Structure 1
Amino acid sequence: MLTIHTAGLLVTGPARSGPAGTGTAPLPGGAVLVEGDRIAGVGPYEELAAAYPHARARRWPGVLTPGLLVRGGDELLERTYYPDDPYEITELGSEPIAGPGALADLKMTEQRWGNSARRGTQKLLARGVVAVAGRFTSAAVRTAVVRSGLTVLPPAPYEGPAALDPLAGRDAASQAFHGTLEPGAPARFAVFAVAGPAELLEQGAATCVATVIGGRLLHRRR
């Protein structure tokens, strides 16, 4: 099935000189045509809609960009525990738990780590994340990450503690982009309820309204 995703502004990759719609400059009213798990076309929504009148259209508020890459994925998912809402909130609170002492008190098991990682990957998807960099040594965590649809990349250098928001510590939103949106590329992108890249960097990835991986809508803000 063909699907056209469109938003107020399309950013197909890091800004550079070149014609609109080729991954070089923000395109107002731009759209991405998805067929299966690949991008079949990029350009103004009106042009794609006219060329593919039977395609399903999904209209999103804000800016559509490449999905984001989060660094320190192993720290976030193998060394941080995400309490099970609502069952553990009264006892443990709602914030992620990290640190050797706190984790020792939880008496973590492989199964519990896997369940925590599943909740963690949902938090990442809700921030437009499509790829994680890190080395996963826990089989349960690795399985949870693979099943989530997130791409696993080798560890990448980063400063400070790992953060669920891939934009933390970045100088520009494009520094967190994973890949570019162009015909033939994987259909892997996110939409944020902001006016543009500058506002995205300022307001953070929690403004995500939708995350698409492999052509599938894996997160949609309710």
Structure 2
Amino acid sequence: MIVAADASADAKPAKAAPASVAAVGTAVGGLSPAEWTVRWWRWAHSFVDGARPYQDPDGSRCALGQDEDGPVWFLAGTDGRSQVRRRCRIPAGKHLLVPVINMYFHAPRIGEYAHRCDQVKAQVMVNNEALVSAVVVLDGKALPRPARLTSRCFDPFPDGDPDGDEEDRKHPGPYHAAADGYWLLLPPLTPGKHRLVIGANYGNDQDADFGRMIQNFEYELQIGESAI
């Protein structure tokens, strides 16, 4: 199954220079940005279908499943079927990881329909070679083009990961997955209100399912507690 998560907006780039964005290869909490995308997908799959973060219509589930003590807070895009506006309160001091537009695929590791790791990775790459646009606007200012991040093969369900640490390898799951796409990793925003608008789309006519995917979502963010 291929699942697309995340984004295209009709916002136009602003003229002002953007806020800083964590560079590709910049570790946060000892993990690379690509490794944080693995954790993002595991977070998304910790919910049942229909209640996953990218299916949230208004942001009311923004805090569910988040690591309150960790350095990164996950935001979601959409499943490509809707345009959404969400509100989310986020603790101060958190980096924000946001999928702009990307592809995901998982398959059995063994059995009749088994896929090798390279086959799984190949499934998620093609549309990202056909990116048409990726627009990110934060508080009215256009940010740089988001980074393309390609994950390792990983167990999408958190109980076991044959490519993970020693404890994970003792309990490999029946599936492995990969993700490839464009992500935003923002350093902690200043306390207060912020508006994040994201939009992107592919232009691959060879993929009837997701090759023309359009993403469109925005967030009203409250960082830290509201002023009294």
Structure with the bigger percentage of strand? 2
TM-score normalised by L of structure 1? 0.23
Structure with the bigger percentage of helix? 1
Between 1 and 2, higher relative CO (CA 8 Å, sep ≥ 6) is seen in: 2
The structure that has the greater radius of gyration is 1
TM-score normalised by L of structure 2? 0.23
